[in-house]
Each structure stands twice: as C-alpha cells, then as structure tokens.
Amino acid sequence: MKFVVSESKLGVVVDDEVYLSPEHVGADPLSLALADDIDLAELGSKIMREATPQALPERFDPPIRRPSKIMAMGLNYRDHCRESGTPLPESPIEFTKHPSSLTGHMHPIFLDESLSTEVDYEVELAVVIGRRCRDLDVSNALDAVAGYTVGNDVSARELQIQDGQWVRAKSFDGFTPLGPVFVTADEIPDPQELPLQTRLDGELLQDSSTNEMVFSVAELLAFVSRRTTLEPGDILLTGTPHGCGAYRDPQVYLKPGSVVECTVAGIGTLTNPVVAYD
C-alpha cells in the first residue's frame, strides 16, 4: 500500500487518485500511526472506505516529518567506492542528518551560494522504522521495517571537506527530500534488488541497483541498532551509487533553475526544483 502526507493529512494513493483521511491529521500522522502500532493495511482500507478519492496534488509533504533521528550511510555502494577511488569499508560508516532538513516531493531545494556552490545530489533508498527496537539481528532485522521511500541526500561538498565531517554539509533546511510516497514493506519483498536512478534536467546521471550495496539493509539495521534504540518513524538512508556530481568529469552540481529527479523502482520518482536562496 502507498501512503502520502498532503497538507498534514495522511492519504492512500491508488493509481492517479488519493484518499485523504478525515481523521489522521497532524504534524506527522504516519509516524503517529506507527507509534500507536496501527496495522497499516487496515488503516489504509479504512481511509479508502471513509474518504472521497481526488486528483493527486502537485506537491506532497515528506511522508515522515518529525523522526527522532535520521541515520545515514557513507560509501555503501561498491560502484560509488570505485568512482571515488576509496577502498570498500570494513564496517558501515554512519553519520546523521538533522530532522529539520526534511522536505517533500516538488518542494524546492534552496541553494545559498554564499555558503556552497558545490551542492550535489544522491539518490538513496530510505528505510522507515516501524517499531521500537534495539540490538536487531541480521536474520530478522527487516521485521522492524514499516516501509520504504525515496531519499535524496543533498550534500554541500566543499563543506564536507572543510569541516572534516558531514553533518553540517548535509543538514541545511531542505537537504533531505523524501517521497513521493511511503510504500509498505510487504510491497518490497527484496530491498536488495531495486534499480535506482537520478536525472538532472532530464539527463541520466546515476543508474545502479541496491544490489551494489556493500552492506545490506538488514546488516545496516543490525549495525545502527547496536546499543541504540530505534523509534517508530526513524529514517535510515542507505547510501548512494556511482554518478554523483563531484566525481564526474566535468563535475556537475545543482544550480538554480534545475530540476532533480530521484527514482527507486517500486516506489516512485521524487522530484525537486532547485531555487536560489533569497
């Protein structure tokens, strides 16, 4: 089942229509449903019975708006390690992003060129935690997943180098687009076999598959949950494949007026215009 959040209302997407709940309204309705351990299939069916279908809006809010944490992974694709000339990591490389960096489908990515002129795109499979858990085992870690969405780990490259760590460079407001929809885990039987792509102004720049991950989704979940409690609605960004702008020749960065599209098969295409910060 596919869920969206539009104008703070939780909705179910069927084909080109959306059913918006008259009840599940608030700052983060999907996270609240997960925290209350509501069966998402039953919730979706209830929304469809009670709501009137309408045309899809142009923009969606991020499906998760206020996670307790956004955990992200660096250098988790073999092809990305090859393009950057970096050895495969021996264990996952974890960093965090501020929850205030979240934005949604068709919302703008603002560029402040007084801070960075080397802002890059990174398509990623985003994993949404469905229950409170800790110390997950690889064998059953996927049981903790509520579903998946598309992420774009927008990054100010020169600030990564300048700071010597990645949090500030990846946490500006709007630097974590998510969407367009949240797909329940039952619709993604194998998260390691998903093609993913990025297009910038229609040009295909990233084209890979989650089977290029160094560490699988299950292995990442076991790693990040080791002595760290995960909460319903927490987000795990699982890394990006080859084709990032910083490693192209010539380099390609986001510019005002551009449109970036990130696609993960089985989920959809997350689209964001790029706008100068005024």
DSSP string, 174-242: T-EEEEEEEEEGGG-S-TTS-EEEEEETTEEEEEEEGGGBSS-HHHHHHHHTTTS-B-TT-EEE----S
User: What pLDDT, on the 0 to 100 scale, is given for residue 278?
Assistant: 82
**Is the N-terminal amide bond of 250 cis, ω within 30° of 0?**
yes
Query: What is the per-residue pLDDT across 19-57, written as a single tens digit (0 to 9) for each?
Result: 999 999 998 999 999 999 999 999 999 999 999 999 999
Q: Are 139 and 204 in contact (CB under 8 A)?
A: no
The top-level CATH class assigned to 70-276 is alpha beta
Nearest-10 Cα torsion for 199, 201, 205, 211: 0
% of residues, the chain, pLDDT over 70: 100
Distance CA 183, CA 228 (A): 25
How would residue 137 be classed by pLDDT, with cut points 50, 70 and 90? very high
User: What pLDDT, on the 0 to 100 scale, is given for residue 170?
Assistant: 97
User: What pLDDT, on the 0 to 100 scale, is given for residue 164?
Assistant: 87
Query: How does DSSP classify residue 130?
Result: -
Domain boundaries, the chain: 2-55, 70-276
Please state, as a whole number, how many other Cβ atoms lie within 10 Å of the Cβ of residue 16: 8
Average pLDDT over residues 199-220: 98
The candidate with the shortest Cα–Cα distance to 175, out of 151, 148, 149, 203, is 151
Distance CA 9, CA 23 (A): 8
Cα 188–189–192 angle (5° rounding)? 85
Query: What is the per-residue pLDDT across 144-186, written as a single tens digit (0 to 9) for each?
Result: 999 999 999 999 999 998 998 999 999 999 999 999 999 999 9
Strands 268-276 and 109-111, by their bridges, are parallel
Distance CA 145, CA 147 (A): 6
Q: What is the pTM of this model?
A: 0.97
Helices (H), 39-92: 40-50, 78-84
Place of tokens 């997950």: 136
